[in-house]
Amino acid sequence: MNPLRLLLRTLVSGLFIVAGLLKLRDADLTLIAVYQYQLMSWESAGVLAATLPWIEIAGGVGIWISKVRLGGATLCLGLTALFIVALGSAVARDLDVSCGCFGTSDLHVTALKRLGEDIGLLVLCVGLWRSELHRLRAQLQFEADTV
């Protein structure tokens, strides 16, 4: 296995699994963190706050399951893009939000700082996604050549 691919999988999956678990640990804070972005109603924020941690965990775990690895990487990439849009919107509207990305452990982190971190995570997710796409293409080509 490619060491860079292994490092990317470990970093991205670890971040998403830990973030999801921390959100599950404090569901009320997760709901407040989602609602403070002022992008949806309280009820919609409740649905998102209840499902988002499980989606993050599914993406992080999916990265390690060979049959759904590309799907897991795609999910993490999509979530990161969504987080960037939400944080960018909050920063643009000058909202004083705590990200809520890692439960209560990141209450002191500004949205602008977290936005920069999420852009870095996006780069990692794109790298992982491209790596998995190339791996899958090579695997499919190998299987086609052996038939």
Its pTM stands at 0.89
pLDDT of 42-83, one tens digit each?
999 999 999 999 999 999 999 999 899 999 999 999 999 999
pLDDT of 23-34, one tens digit each?
999 889 899 989
**pLDDT for residue 109 is more than 80:** no
**pLDDT for residue 101 is more than 80:** no
Is there a contact between 17 and 76 (Cβ–Cβ < 8 Å)?
Answer: no
Three-state DSSP state, 40: coil
pLDDT of res. 114:
86
H helices present in 42-110, as ranges: 42-62, 69-92
pLDDT of res. 143:
86
Which band of pLDDT confidence, cut at 50, 70 and 90, is reported for residue 126?
A: very high
pLDDT of res. 2:
85
pLDDT of res. 105:
61
Question: Mean pLDDT for the chain?
Answer: 90
Burial of 5 (0-12, 13-18, 19+ CB in 10 A): middle
User: Which of 15, 8, 128 has the alpha carbon at shortest distance from 73?
Assistant: 128
**pLDDT for residue 107 is more than 70:** no
pLDDT of 129-139, one tens digit each?
999 999 899 98
pLDDT of res. 96:
76
Over range 126-130, report the average pLDDT.
95
Is there a contact between 106 and 100 (Cβ–Cβ < 8 Å)?
Answer: yes
Whole-number Å distance between alpha carbons of 22 and 53: 8
